[in-house]
Amino acid sequence: MLQKANVTRIRAWLEKINTFNSTPGAGTTRVLFTKEELASRAYIKEEMNKLGLEVSEDAIGNLFGVLRGKNRKFAPVWTGSHIDTVLNAGMFDGMAGIVSGMEALRLIKESGIVFKRDLAVVVYTSEEPTRFGLSCLGSRAMAGELTLEDTRSIRDEEGNSLYEVLGTLGYDYKEFAAVKREKGDVYAAVELHIEQNLHLDKEGIPIGIVKGICAPTIYEVTINGCQSHAGGTSMGDRHDAFTAASELTLVLEKLARESKGTYVTGTVGKVNVLPNAVNVIPGEVHMSIDIRSIDVESKKMVLNKLFTEKERIESERGVIISLDLENDDIPLKCDENIIRILKNNCENLGITYMDLISGPYHDSLFVGRFAKTAMLFVPSKNGISHSKEEWTDFEDIALGTDVLAHTLLELANKDN
């Protein structure tokens, strides 16, 4: 029998990881391969070693803590998430899955129960697009959707390529090909994550079982109008790039709101207005578009209509709008067998749960390309995330850890 997850330990790990933060007092910011993120990696490696896990990293910095099973010829079972954050974030997005995975492996180890397959807790490199503008770098590379060659053209705002940064940190380019995993290399993967929406909190239900994970289609948008004098240019003579951007943004919101698809979202999160001066009509705008759905057709419908509207705005306003595709990821349906195991364990533990769709994407979206994958959620207070107001009770993470630990142990003893 497994002991209950230790809330004090979970809290201590989360609070310590939260000290590796470049914006103390303004939420948590831990950006890929900055000193704060490297320090958090070092801390987690230390804690994995203390748990008696075998610690290793691959050539893009995915970090593994492995608890050996009895028979290594069987493919391993993974759990894990991320430690990098968006800007001015909370302390739970990603980290809850890391500490929960570590605690689950500790509980299994201390139980002395024999299990076949290796169990690993994985810290996936850079789930957030914060530094390089592309999400899920580590799990995307594992899925074979990010090659070493690709890393040469992925640059941060200072112009550093991911390739150069990896080299500077001593990662071995010759080993990059080994990051890729084939179907069968990993038997199953289960990720615990905060819900980042308000269903569990609103219903007072401690566990969400994820049926499917939405995937993002991301565009970088450039709008070129005519920079001119705010007073000297009559309203009929303007080609205002910002009002064009605003109209495109409202069109996107309307299309996503009115879509008949299952769970469609449309967001403009990043906007850069040039020259950004009080008395100058903006001549140029750079902005992001993030469209998501649980099904590809719904995303396609929204995009087709958006392109039609873009052309209308261009001709009516005399501006040029270019949309450059960053990534167009495919949604994931979670594995029904693992979902069944998760639900059985909730029922055996007397824990209520509900089925959910994940609007946020996760590393599991890419791990699902090569392994049977599922996720479980714990409540986000008021559904807030990607904000310093993000909060999840430590007791809820411990409850989720109990379900995770039982599920990992059961999967680790499956023959096929």
Binding interface with ligand HGY (CB under 6 A) = 127-128, 135, 360-361
Distance CA 413, CA 407 (A): 10
Q: Look at residue 361 and give the partner it binds from Mn ion, ligand HGY, none, a contact being a CB closer than 5 to 8 Å depending on partner kind.
A: ligand HGY
Least Å from the CB of residue 28 to Mn ion: 11
Of all residues in the shown chain, the one whose CB is closest to ligand HGY is 360
CB nearer ligand HGY, residue 40 or residue 130: 130
Least Å from the CB of residue 101 to Mn ion: 14
Q: Look at residue 390 and give the partner it binds from ligand HGY, Mn ion, none, a contact being a CB closer than 5 to 8 Å depending on partner kind.
A: none
Distance CA 10, CA 16 (A): 10
DSSP character at residue 161 = B
Check if the beta carbon of residue 214 is closer than 8 Å to that of residue 362: no
In DSSP terms, 377 is beta-bridged to 193, 208
CB nearer Mn ion, residue 47 or residue 93: 93
The residue whose two tokens read 């748990």 is 51
Query: What are the angstrom distances between the C-alpha of 310 and each of 292, 303, 365?
Result: 19, 10, 30
Helix (H, G, I), strand (E, B) or coil at 63: strand
Please tell me the count of residues contacting Mn ion according to CB under 5 A: 2
Q: What single letter denotes the amino acid at residue 386? A: H
Q: Look at residue 135 and give the partner it binds from Mn ion, ligand HGY, none, a contact being a CB closer than 5 to 8 Å depending on partner kind.
A: ligand HGY
Instruction: Give the phi and the psi of residue 288 in degrees, each rounded to 5.
Output: -105, 150
Task: Provide the terminal-to-terminal Cα distance of the chain, rounded to the nearest Å.
Answer: 23
Distance CA 207, CA 392 (A): 12
Least Å from the CB of residue 65 to ligand HGY: 22
CB nearer Mn ion, residue 80 or residue 94: 94
In DSSP terms, 155 is beta-bridged to 161
By CB under 5 A, the residues from 87 to 116 that bind Mn ion are: 93-94
Least Å from the CB of residue 138 to ligand HGY: 13
Least Å from the CB of residue 135 to ligand HGY: 6
In DSSP terms, 287 is beta-bridged to 221, 271
CB nearer ligand HGY, residue 156 or residue 164: 156
CB nearer Mn ion, residue 84 or residue 247: 84
- Among the listed residues 413, 385, 29, 402, the one whose alpha carbon sits nearest the alpha carbon of residue 192: 402
Least Å from the CB of residue 329 to ligand HGY: 10
CB nearer ligand HGY, residue 23 or residue 413: 23
Binding site for Mn ion (CB under 5 A): 93-94
